[in-house]
Amino acid sequence: MPNHVINRLTFDCPEERLRQILAEICYDDSAEVETTGIGTIDFNKITPMPPSLDIEDGSNTNHGINLYLTSINPNVKYFGTEKLNPREFKALSERLSGHRHFLPHKTVLSQDEITNCTRYRSADELVKLGKTAVENLMNYGATTWYDWRTRGDTWNTKWNSYSPSYDGGNEICFQTAWSAPHPIIEKLSEMYPEVTIRHMWANEDLWQDCGSRTYLGGEMIDYDEPDSDVEQLEAAASIWGYDLEEDYGLVMSASKTSYVNIDNDTYELVSVCGQPGLFSNGRLTEDDIPEGLHLYHLRSGRNGEQFSGIEKKVSVDHGGSIVTDKPLDLGNSGFILFDKNNAINFMGEDITFKQFMEGDFETKEGFKLE
C-alpha cells in the first residue's frame, strides 16, 4: 500500500465561478469511483491519459516488449515474420534503452526464453501487448499507465484522486498515492488563469513531504515549506487535521527544537530526594524529554556505591539520567551528594513519560513520597 498524501485546494474566486469550475473538473456519475460530482477532482479532466496507456504494468508487459522486439528483429530468423529494416530497428532499440537505464529490454530472446515467457500467455497476446507498449513509448514517452502517470510532467502520482471531502465552501480535499499531483494543479491554474488557487499537501508520514503552493495564471506565485522538523510536523498535522499529542503521542521537547513521543519508551520509576522521577541508563538530553520536565544526571560512585550524587551536568563518570516533574533544589553547590539517608530508590516499575506526567503509577508499599 502507498503512503497517502492529503491535498487541499482553495479557490479564490466568486461563488458562481467556483461552482462552474468544480462542475467541469469533477468525476462524472459514470466514473468507477466511490464518490462523484461536485467536490471531487478527476485528473483526466485536466491532463487526460491516452487510452492506449491503460495496459497492465509488470512482468507480462516486459515479456511482451522483449517478445515483440525479438519478433521484429531483422537478425532473428526463428521467430516473427514482419521485420524492421536494420536502421529502424537500431533506432528503436536505442530509444527503448534510454527508457530503461538499469535493466534494458532484450532485443533477442532465445527459443528457450520464448518458451518460458509464453508459458501462461500466448505468444500472439504478448506480442500484441508488447507492440502497444512500444508504440506508447514512441507516442507518449511512456510504456504503460504507471510510467506515464508517475512522470513529473503528467500526474506525478500513480492513481487518480480518491477519498474526497467537500463541505460546500471554497476548498476541496482529496488524497493521492505517494506524492502530491503538482503538475495537475499547475495545469488547473492554466485552465482558469483568473483564479488564485492555493494547494496545501502533506504525506501521512508526517516527517515526509508537505508544504503549500499558490498559483495564478498557470504560474506559481508563492511557495512555503517547513524549515525545521518541528515546523514539518506541525504543518503536516495541521493540513491533515491531526492533534500531535492526542493522535500521535507527540509533545514538544524541553529544548523546543523537536517533538518527543510520550507513549512508546519506558523508564524506571524512582524516588530521588523525596520526589518521583524517571531513570535512564543512557545520557538523555533536553531533546529527549517533554517540555515542563526537568533533567539531571547521576555521577557514578568510586567507592563501591552505585551513584555518588546528582547534578545538572556530568561529563565524567556519568551513571545515568534522571527526569523529574518538579525541579530539585541543588543548593549553592549545584549538586546533591548521596548517603544512606539520601539515595536513589528504585520503585520496581517501568512507565512512559505520559504515565509519569499524569501521575499514573504506584510506589512501593510502605514508601511515601514527601
Measure the CA angle with vertex 246, ends 243 and 250; round to 5°: 80
Q: Average of pLDDT values for 286-315?
A: 89
Q: What is the pLDDT of residue 344?
A: 85
Q: What is the pLDDT of residue 356?
A: 95
Which residue in this structure is represented by grid cell 506508447? 136
Q: 191 in helix, strand or coil?
A: helix
Question: End-to-end CA distance of the chain, in Å?
Answer: 53
Q: What is the pLDDT of residue 308?
A: 87
Q: Is the pLDDT of residue 213 over 80?
A: yes
Which residue in this structure is represented by grid cell 497492465? 56
Query: Which of 85-99, 266-280, 353-367 comes out lowest in average pLDDT?
Result: 353-367
Percentage of the residues of the chain whose pLDDT score is greater than 70: 95
Which residue in this structure is represented by grid cell 500484441? 128
Amino acid at 74: P
Q: How many residues does the chain have?
A: 370
**How much is the mean pLDDT over the chain?**
91
pLDDT grade for 100, boundaries at 50, 70 and 90: low
Query: Which of 54-68, 182-196, 211-225, 336-350 comes out lowest in average pLDDT?
Result: 336-350
**Could you read off the pLDDT of 54-88 as tens digits, one per residue?**
999 988 998 999 999 999 999 988 888 888 888 99
Which residue in this structure is represented by grid cell 504478448? 126
Q: How many helices (H) and strands (E) are present in the chain, helices listed first?
A: 10, 15
List the domain boundaries for the chain: 4-47+155-240, 52-149, 259-358
Q: Is the pLDDT of residue 370 over 50?
A: no
pLDDT grade for 91, boundaries at 50, 70 and 90: confident
* CATH number, domain 4-47+155-240: 3.30.70.1270
**Could you read off the pLDDT of 353-364 as tens digits, one per residue?**
999 999 877 765
Q: Is the pLDDT of residue 201 over 90?
A: yes
Q: Is the pLDDT of residue 102 over 70?
A: no
Q: What is the pLDDT of residue 249?
A: 95
